[in-house]
Structure 1
């Protein structure tokens, strides 16, 4: 029986060395993994000639240490996963392939009990280890993104128990993260809002549905401010929820401003038939409204008439189109790319019915730089009718961009975190 032939065809990567670490034999699988022929390595010192380490000295080499341990103990020794790059025979001098290995060294004893041979069995685990490194780097990047987000980011387990809060929580509330994670989050929420929050959670758990709720949270100054909180479940392949991920955005200033603007608009309509003194007062309030709109941190514009002609555009809205002149132009002429996206029909509906329209996280293709290049941007917005003498005379458009939040959730979903 040809034992040498049988050894060569063993479907595992194995190499046999002498007690002084000279290569004596190798399986075909070992030669395939190392990109060598038996003629290239046979009779050569395993570590000094055939496969020298590109960085470590011979004394520091972990493979040599494992071989020495096997030689001295006469017992099998298992080598932890190591990076051991190999010279690339197909490239120029000094070129190495990055490789990761798992290996064991088994002694073969002679009749006198001395080590006659050492068999190294090895596995190339490069692909697995590189994937682990890539996953680790990806997780670190997304953790960095979560920490850098201006929103309050959180995750919970399947039962709703908090598992992670980004650093923004500690900055916003002044409470240590460990305290918030240990049920301290409840004192952040306004007591009057806790029942509604609990009810929303119970409904979401039952229906495995997203959560969206406005509630008040305590900031570091002890002031309760309005937040928009969104939470989304992550399910496994069988449809079981394994975690929840959510964000909380401070919308207090915007909420208060919109309410004030709507109230002011109603007051202006009621004062339209009053005497000159009332007219002057209404005009003053209109100018104040215009100033508020122009300086608002969200995007505002007023569209007048059935053509939806721009009458007022605040700076935040104009920043979307830095190279366009839009004031006093019909919307379809100023921003032609939105015509085929259905927004003219929505505005017509609000104008004709007097009913407001609200949309969340809607993708809109915009030609921001007036170059013909369309860019996908996400917005949460609303259209509110403006009444004059009980008739709709225009539309107040209010919104804010949420592209980064949407992209972040998509990234988390791709990573399997949502």
Structure 2
């Protein structure tokens, strides 16, 4: 009797099963975990008359197979992580509760070497497995979001070693992900430009600072194009740098345009410098995706359902249209001016077909400041279908304003015409 008291109070999930699978004993911890009383389970056939899984037959149950193996081999058999849902009592609302387990089955032999019973020791690893699943889902969402944006996005450790690149990098360079990890990414940077990065990484405070440079990146055809590279440190709640997030924007056409103006007339060199500075300022204002979702400096919103209702809007998006309630309202309700401009039709088409819409320098006419005065603005934007359970459930809207860039190009084109006339 004293031994029985010791056994039932062992702080482990232990149940003892006979060779014919009848439950002989169980610890109090096991009863609490499985939400059963001792009277409900003792003498019952394990996983048949109690704890039965309706989705699988008794003989095919992996737990039963493991117990049989322990009996046949007379050795401990370990069961891999297994999802086995527990049935709730009627008082607890019925139904099943998802649980994940690790288990071992230890045969106990009599003097003749025959199996008297099997001890099952289980560990409830539900919390750990759910955390792993949540992490996996978070990583998948991160990859989806970074692949959806029209930017070359990467992450690195505090010292600059690459840890991830999005699909845009892979498509642009033609190299697999493995070719970027660590410091291998340096091979796609023009040999004359790589020193800009390497010199900065040698500085003591590199991990704490923002990095920005114009570099030439090699594409899959072997050609180099100019890109504006930005990299920002991401810190935890204690201010410690945990990673760097960076992006690369193609500025090749603008770069060549500026160089052409410079070469056309030496007397315009000062003006060209001012134009370059103006362009740089415009690029700074049109902050790209260095931080994800709510920290992103680009315009980001999630529209749910066929009516395109704002479910999430990042601060950058909201700042663009102050004084308007976006979240909870449909696009037509929050921004009625754009209905006649065809944007709702574009959203409808993406939602119905699942085909993304990408536009550069698209014009939007809106009363941006609620002053009663409608003004034009230009955006580069992507409408990407949001897929849930294989179906389009909404749209990810991502973009950035390029009004200054359009105006700058128009000024450059006008300037070029004036120069040709001279």
TM-score (norm 2): 0.58
Are the structure 2 counterparts of residues 253 and 98 from structure 1 closer, same or farther at C-alpha, using a change threshold of 3 Å? Answer: same
Q: How does 1:293-304 map to 2 (within 5 A)?
A: none
Corresponding residue SS for 1:60: coil
**Aligned counterpart, 2:132:** 132
Contact 1:109 1:115 in 2 (8 A): yes
Q: Contact between 1:70 and 1:106, CA under 8 Å: does it hold in 2? A: yes
Partner of 2:97: 97
Whole-angstrom CA distance in 1 between matches of 2:10 and 2:121: 11
* In 1, Cα distance between equivalents of 2:315 and 2:127: 40
State which structure, 1 or 2, has the greater radius of gyration over its C-alpha atoms: 1
Correspondence list, 1:308-327, <5 A: none
Distance 1:204 1:144 in 2: 34
Partner of 2:108: 108
1:368 maps onto 2:321 in alignment: yes
How many Å apart are 1:52 and its aligned residue? 1.4
CA contact (8 A) 2:381 2:399 kept: no
Q: Distance in 2 between matches of 1:177 and 1:110?
A: 58
* 1:91–1:230 Cα change, 3 Å: farther
CA distance in 2, matches of 1:72, 1:366: 70
- Kindly report which structure 2 residues correspond to 1:37-76, keeping only aligned pairs within 5 A, or say none: 37-76=37-76
**Relative to structure 1, is the Cα distance of residues 89 and 364 closer, same or farther in structure 2, using a 3 angstrom cutoff?**
closer
Report the Cα distance in structure 2 between the residues aligned to 1:143 and 1:122, rounded to whole angstroms.
35
Aligned to 2:160: 160
Q: Distance in 1 between matches of 2:315 and 2:324?
A: 23
Deviation at 1:218, TM superposition (A): 3.6
- The C-alpha deviation readout for 1:369-402, integer Å capped at 9, x for no partner, is 8745699xxxxxxxxxxxxxxxxxxxxx999899
Partner of 1:172: 172
CA-CA distance at 1:20 after TM superposition:
0.8
Partner of 2:123: 123
| RMSD (Å), alpha carbons | 4.7
Check the 8 A contact 1:365/1:374 in 2, yes or no: no
Deviation at 1:247, TM superposition (A): 1.6
1:235, 1:242 within 8 Å by CA — same for their partners in 2?
yes
CA distance in structure 1 between the aligned counterparts of 2:327 and 2:164, rounded to whole angstroms: 37
Unaligned runs of 5+ in 2: 269-281, 287-298, 301-313, 329-376, 383-396, 401-422
CA distance in 1, matches of 2:315, 2:56: 56
Long gaps (5+) in structure 1: 269-295, 301-318, 321-360, 376-396, 407-418
In the alignment, the residues of structure 2 paired with residue 126 and residue 185 of structure 1 have an alpha-carbon distance, to the nearest angstrom, of 39
Shift of 1:91: 6.5
- Corresponding pairs, count: 301
Structure-1 residue corresponding to 2:148: 148
The residue correspondences of 1:397-412 to structure 2 (distance < 5 A) are none
Deviations for 1:332-390, whole angstroms, at most 9, x for unmatched residues?
xxxxxxxxxxxxxxxxxxxxxxxxxxxxx995853738745699xxxxxxxxxxxxxxx
Deviations 1:133-186 (A, max 9, x none): 111111122122222332112234455343433221232234555556697744
Counterparts of 2:175 and 2:132 in 1: how far apart (Å)? 35
The CA deviation string for residues 175-227 of structure 1, in whole angstroms up to 9 with x for no partner, is: 55555669774454344423323222323765632312222334456554332
